[in-house]
Structure 1
Amino acid sequence: MTVSITDVARAAGVSASTVSRALRGQPGVSEEVRAQITAAAASLGYTASRSASSLASGRTLTIGVVAPFVGRWFFGTVLDAAENVFGAAGYDVLLYNLGSPETRKRFFTKMPVRKRVDAVLSLLVHDEDEADALRSLGVPLATFWTAPRPGFTVVGIDDRAAAQSAVRHLVNLGHRRIGMIGGTSGPLHWTTPVERRQGYLDVLADAGIPHDPALETDGGYTVEGGEHAMTELLAAPRPPTAVFAQSDEMAMGALRALRLHRLKAPDDMSVIGLDDHELAEVIGLTTIAQPVAGQGAEAARLLLRQLQEPDAGPPGHVQVPTRLILRDTTAPPHPRRPQ
């Protein structure tokens, strides 16, 4: 026979509403009574109905997550870490994959998450219209990538500073002809390639190295794109002696292109990436590490904190550190290579 909340109330000698408050951790119940109710519920084998608890609390116990390209390593890693935190706290995840301009426009026109979620975690970079649409939901919001934004918790790295660290490492090794494999911002307001390119340009200027547009190629933030981009750089009249790839996946493609041309890093060309991909250590890739899973987990924890402390307000901008990881793919330029 199914045990009801009324059965627990009768066994504990309290009202059903007191049982409901006690088992949901709400205030207004003494610790002694809460312990008495918990013991009664356990002895009867009572399990609270999730749907009934949601109705009583006004919560859906669901977090909305909007993301592009969920099949890519970075986004998948962030989502996995965030989902682990949400799941441990008793929340389900409702995922919206907005990998195309069409699906993105449809989402922000219809806003299907309205009244279906308690909070939203977004892996997108939003224009003001999209940000306003999310703020209109009246729930805690968290996002990545961008500078501080009203109404949002923002977690991320300083992309410009991370790129500066990568290129400065190459300059400090003695390289003067430094290429870059990057990407474009595209139609989805993604600013990361712009910020990382600016970091590249900053260090060249500081070192007195003239910028050569012929040493910049678009790798599309994929392994295949990185391979094509490095092939293009190798075909230049004066190839670079070192290359900064704006992501580890593009750096992996670049290393593959070197192998196909019977060249080797760092003997023939130094290569540095950015991310510290899970395979970076396996292939010995020098990189700028960012805590990818850590950012997902931190954003999830901050959203849950806002749900638990609604009067505290969003914590604003949380910037996580990056660091240089020295491995096997960078070294001073070979004496026989012209600078």
Structure 2
Amino acid sequence: MGVSIDDVAARAGVSTATVSRALRGLPRVSPATRERVLAVAQDLGYVPSPSATRLATGRTKTVGVLVPFIDRWYFAHALEGIDQELREHGYNLMLFSLGGYQHGQRRRFSEPMVRKHVDALVVLCLGLSGVELEELKHAHIPLIAVGGPVVGCHGVHIDDTAAATEATQHLIDLGHRAIGQLRGGSKDEKNFIVPVLRSRAFEATMHRAGLQVRPEWNVAGNFTVLEGVAAAGRLFDQPGERPTAVFCGSDEMALGLMFEARRRGIRIPADLSVVGIDDYDFSGPAGLSTIAQKPIDHGRVAAQMLLAELNGNTGASQERIMPINLVQRETTAPPR
């Protein structure tokens, strides 16, 4: 059986809290006591455990991340950024997954789920209910959102309205007037604000340009490649003329549309221009024009804010709008 903090405290004749403070170099420990504790710890071969640290300091050295999906591109990359930053500072990551849409209306996240388990919490682009947000605030831990605005807490995210506006304006500037949209589906829009913001920005940009938003060219794709394929099929099956360009609310939907267009012999960009948002991993190799963002950086910045707040910098967690840029590749060109 290994040596515990209690063994060190008993041999040194001090409390476990004093042992913890002495080993971590914290104040309110006399030089003589610190030297005695260090000598005893070295003699016994004691290695501090996370549980001992928690008992002495009330800290778990763990940050929780609440995520609606594990397999979505943005969430996976943001998680990687959070984890990188936490590891560099000796913190662990605890994942709380809501299992996507599997649980429907039974989804519930509450304060007891995080009580005494984490020191801070990151909410990944999820619309929390008022009840859920109030319960989390009762945990009295730093809280920050990543990936999209969440009512009631500061966040790290891009300006989704600006991103969709720039993508749509890019098509208009190329000379397109007949423009369709692949947007988030009803489930996405119910749980996240991002798909709604992007869709509204597309429509507003079209209206400002005096262009019609045709309902039959406004198709739900649920922000995945496979749903993008299905949505593109419904768009292409519409009778009458076809749009000369399509704005996609995510690169994954745009890639799905490109697959379906190729299957039907629709040439991109000769017959149809396509633009997305995100700069997904395969967007570059596919030649997809997009509004690029870097979710790994979003995760890192959010983790930095939380760690600063945990280290006593009250108010370190602030709203941070992250950079975006238009990357024009081979999928957008002037209409024929």
Structure 1, 162-171 or 100-109: larger mean CA deviation: 100-109
Q: Which of 308, 313, 323 is residue 311 of structure 2 equivalent to?
A: 308
How far 1:248 sits from its partner (Å)?
0.6
Report the count of equivalent residues. 332
Partner SS for 1:137: coil
Residue 337 of structure 1 corresponds to none
8 Å Cα contact 1:63-1:91 kept in structure 2: yes
Alignment of structure 1 residues 281-300 onto 2, 5 Å: 281-300=284-303
8 Å Cα contact 1:153-1:314 kept in structure 2: no
Residue 178 of structure 1 corresponds to 179
Residue 249 of structure 1 corresponds to 252
Matched, 1:61 2:64: no
Matched, 1:108 2:109: yes
Q: Which of 208, 212, 215 is residue 214 of structure 2 equivalent to?
A: 212
Residue 51 of structure 2 corresponds to 51
- Encode CA deviations 1:231-278: one digit per residue, 9 max, x unaligned: 222223111101111001000000001110112211111101100011
Separation in structure 2 between the aligned mates of residue 320 and residue 198 of structure 1, nearest angstrom:
20
8 Å Cα contact 2:156-2:298 kept in structure 1: yes
Segments of structure 2 that go 5 or more residues without pairing to the other structure are none
Partner SS for 2:109: helix
Separation in structure 1 between the aligned mates of residue 335 and residue 23 of structure 2, nearest angstrom:
66
- Encode CA deviations 1:202-241: one digit per residue, 9 max, x unaligned: 2111211122112111111111111122222222311110
Partner SS for 1:64: strand
Matched to 1:24, the amino acid is: R
Partner SS for 1:142: strand
Alignment of structure 1 residues 181-260 onto 2, 5 Å: 181-186=182-187, 188-236=190-238, 237-260=240-263
8 Å Cα contact 1:233-1:240 kept in structure 2: no
CA RMSD in angstroms comes to: 3.1
Separation in structure 2 between the aligned mates of residue 205 and residue 105 of structure 1, nearest angstrom:
39
Residue 82 of structure 1 corresponds to 82
Residue 135 of structure 2 corresponds to 133
- CA 1:18–1:112: 2 relative to 1, 3 Å: closer
TM-score (norm 1): 0.86
Partner SS for 1:108: coil
Separation in structure 1 between the aligned mates of residue 171 and residue 55 of structure 2, nearest angstrom:
58
Separation in structure 2 between the aligned mates of residue 275 and residue 65 of structure 1, nearest angstrom:
21
How far 1:33 sits from its partner (Å)?
9.6
Structure 1, 138-147 or 222-231: larger mean CA deviation: 138-147
Partner SS for 1:66: strand
Question: Identity across aligned pairs (percent)?
Answer: 40
- CA 1:24–1:262: 2 relative to 1, 3 Å: same
How far 1:32 sits from its partner (Å)?
12
Separation in structure 2 between the aligned mates of residue 100 and residue 2 of structure 1, nearest angstrom:
44
Structure 1, 165-174 or 89-98: larger mean CA deviation: 89-98
- CA 1:41–1:135: 2 relative to 1, 3 Å: same
Segments of structure 1 that go 5 or more residues without pairing to the other structure are 335-339
8 Å Cα contact 2:157-2:322 kept in structure 1: yes
